[in-house]
């Protein structure tokens, strides 16, 4: 993204203001597996610089807890190791081309299976 894009957009990466604030007042405290970087200021404010587009569902649960002060210790220092049965965090796919679309959905052609005849419509009496 070019210089003007950084000035005028907030939805795809950090703006110039966030980058300046990060450079002047931020202290990097960690990075998650997706490449998101986490910062803290001397006054206690915390924020994230996303590796891709600004999508809060890309923040793993352990870092979400740190950002919202559910726990003050960094995730690597305070949480138990990942268990083998735990799955990695996945982003919210709603509204994207990879969203779940069941059979019969308009986005899949709007075709549904034929009625089986086990339904009888209700009609009011007289």
DSSP 12-46: SS--HHHHHHHHHHEEEEEE-TT--EEEEETTS-E
Residue 109 domain flag? no
**Structural domains of the chain, count:** 1
Q: Which domain holds residue 14?
A: 3-81
pLDDT per residue over 78-96, tens digit each? Answer: 778 888 998 877 778 888 8
Residue 113 domain flag? no
What was the pLDDT predicted at 87? Answer: 86
Residue 123 domain flag? no
- The pTM score is 0.61
Q: 91 with 57: CB under 8 angstroms? A: yes
Residue 42 domain flag? yes
Residue 43 domain flag? yes
* Rg (the chain; Cα; Å): 23
Residue 58 domain flag? yes
Give the sign of the dihedral formed by CA 5, CA 6, CA 11, CA 17.
negative
Residue 14 domain flag? yes
Q: Mean pLDDT over all residues of the chain?
A: 80
Residue 88 domain flag? no
Of 13, 11, 46, whose CA–CA distance to 30 is shortest? 46
Residue 109 confidence class, pLDDT cut points 50, 70, 90? confident
Cα 101 from chain centroid? 20
What was the pLDDT predicted at 52? Answer: 79
pLDDT per residue over 32-54, tens digit each? Answer: 888 999 999 888 889 888 887 78
């Amino acid at each position: 993204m070019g210089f003007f894009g950084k000035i005028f957009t907030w939805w795809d990466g950090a703006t110039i203001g966030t980058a300046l604030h990060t450079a002047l007042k931020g202290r990097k405290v960690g990075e998650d597996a997706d490449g998101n970087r986490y910062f803290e200021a001397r006054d206690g404010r915390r924020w994230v610089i996303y590796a891709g587009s600004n999508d809060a569902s890309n923040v793993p649960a352990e870092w979400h807890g740190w950002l919202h002060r559910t726990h003050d210790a960094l995730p690597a220092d305070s949480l138990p190791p990942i268990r083998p049965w735990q799955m990695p965090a996945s982003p919210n796919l709603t509204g994207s081309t990879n969203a779940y679309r069941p059979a019969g959905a308009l986005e899949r052609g709007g075709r549904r299976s034929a009625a089986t005849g086990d339904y009888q419509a209700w009609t009011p009496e007289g």
